[in-house]
A and B are shown apart, each in its own frame.
Chain A
Amino acid sequence: MLTIRRSIRDAIVAHARRDHPDEACGIVAGPEGSDEPVRLVEMVNAAGSPTFYEFDSGELLALYKEMWKNDEEPVVIYHSHTATEAYPSRTDIGLASEPGAHYVLVSTREPDDADVPAEFRSYRIVDGEVTEEEVRLVEG
């Protein structure tokens, strides 16, 4: 189960909406071993694409060095799908390389003013195996 503050969930959805029709991506760092997503870091999609995302390699290193310095780890790794459901694609599964992270997918295929809330789903991806998990929102 992913437990995440409502404000962080909302900020991730807002980022996905803002970058639509390109895929948005980022992480939420948290203290090592805590499983608590605390610090949202919006990343630039270096691929600048509606069907692909990739962190810039220099920014990726800077991000990890900052996390190491703070004794943090990537608790959530998120990205958006802009025309398809919020479910990991074959590419997502093949490239997932943080077995301890919650992989969050947001779909922006429905317009912002839709009556339905944005799809925001979370998965574990370990050794090519995807397991969806419950998302529990806490106030804050």
Chain B
Amino acid sequence: MAIEVKIPTIMRTFTGGEKAITGEGATIAALIEDLEAKHPGIADRMVEDGALRRFVNIYVNDEDVRFLGGLEAPLSDGDEVVVLPAVAGGSH
């Protein structure tokens, strides 16, 4: 079960500069665990206190995982996962 994961620029320090990596897992949580084993440190950029970070978006086949069950969102072979940090800010 191979899933391609697109990695944003700011997280490529964990992937040796690679824009896309391959991982495995039946859910987003399992996939992140697998990616962490191969690229230590990367999970912390996506997960905080057991939940998805508020300002990081993860998409499965173009759908935000927040609408698919969050960390429990199911994955299938050939799914395309994209990780993108939110573009956000404020005046305070």
Show the binding face of A for B, using Cβ within 8 Å.
23, 25, 27, 43, 47, 49-55, 57-58, 60-61, 64, 77, 79, 81-84, 88-92, 95-100
Contacts and interface: CB of A to CB of B under 8 A. Distances in A.
Interface in B20-78: 55, 57, 59, 62, 64, 66
B87 A25 contact: yes
Interface of B: 8-10, 55, 57, 59, 62, 64, 66, 82, 84-92
A60 B62 contact: no
Contact of A53 (B55, B64, B88): B88
From DSSP, what is the main secondary structure of chain A's interface residues? mixed
A51 B90 contact: yes
A83 B15 CA distance: 40
A55 B91 contact: no
Contacts of B9: 98-100
B80 to A, nearest CB: 11
A98 B92 CA distance: 20
A99 B91 CA distance: 20
A92 B62 CA distance: 26
Nearest to B59: A61
A50 B92 CA distance: 11
Given A64-B84, A100-B9, A95 B64 contact: no
B84 A60 contact: yes
B89 A96 contact: yes
A50 B87 CA distance: 16
